[in-house]
């Protein structure tokens, strides 16, 4: 089945140690998104790629970076994780962003713990 896959599902890292979360999709969608969701809070968009075009949200800290080497894969890099970065990280895709009806498909998420 076509889907959005995130690995790992659970990631533990140490304070200040770089970590990379991965997302892959078999939907062949043009747009890939990364959200951060803290406990009992709304998912917060960090950035998105429209094809190879990177779009950063104004309030996303510089500590968060992303790479999209090809259509199928997108990575979230946290250069120096702090305790406040512990959260669920959700990857989502959509077919396009110019079409009015365009739902986003979410992966299962990676829960990041920072020790």
Partner 1 sequence: GQNIDQPTEMTATEGAIVQINCTYQTSGFNGLFWYQQHAGEAPTFLSYNVLDGLEEKGRFSSFLSRSKGYSYLLLKELQMKDSASYLCAVRDRSGGATNKLIFGTGTLLAVQP
Parallel/antiparallel/unpaired status of strands 10-13 and 110-114:
parallel
Q: Which is nearer to partner 1, 73 or 105 (CB)?
A: 105
Q: Which is nearer to partner 1, 17 or 46 (CB)?
A: 46
Size of the site for partner 1 (CB under 8 A): 28
In the block, tokens 């959200």 appear at: 35
Report the nearest approach of partner 1 to the CB of residue 107 (Å).
6
- Look at the alpha carbons of 16, 11, 58, 75 in this order and tell me if their dihedral is positive or negative: positive
Region from 11-19, 66-74, 75-83, 92-100 binding partner 1, contact rule CB under 8 A: 92-100
Report the nearest approach of partner 1 to the CB of residue 105 (Å).
7
- Measured torsion, CA atoms of residues 81, 94, 58, 75, in degrees rounded to the nearest 10: 30
What is the C-alpha to C-alpha distance for residues 62 and 39, in angstroms, rounded to an integer?
22
Q: Which is nearer to partner 1, 71 or 79 (CB)?
A: 71
Identified binder of partner 1 from the candidate list 50, 71, 75, 113, rule CB under 8 A: 50
């Amino acid at each position: 089945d076509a889907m959005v896959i995130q690995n790992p599902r659970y990631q533990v890292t140490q304070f200040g140690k770089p970590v990379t979360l991965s997302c892959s999709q078999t939907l062949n969608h043009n747009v890939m998104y990364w959200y951060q969701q803290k406990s009992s809070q709304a998912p917060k968009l960090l950035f998105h790629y429209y094809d190879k075009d990177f779009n950063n949200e104004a309030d996303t800290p510089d500590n968060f970076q992303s790479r999209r080497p090809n259509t199928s894969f997108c990575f979230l890099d946290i250069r120096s994780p702090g305790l406040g970065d512990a959260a669920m990280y959700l990857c989502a895709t959509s077919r396009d962003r110019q079409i009015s009806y365009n739902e986003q498909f979410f992966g299962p998420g990676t829960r990041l713990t920072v020790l």
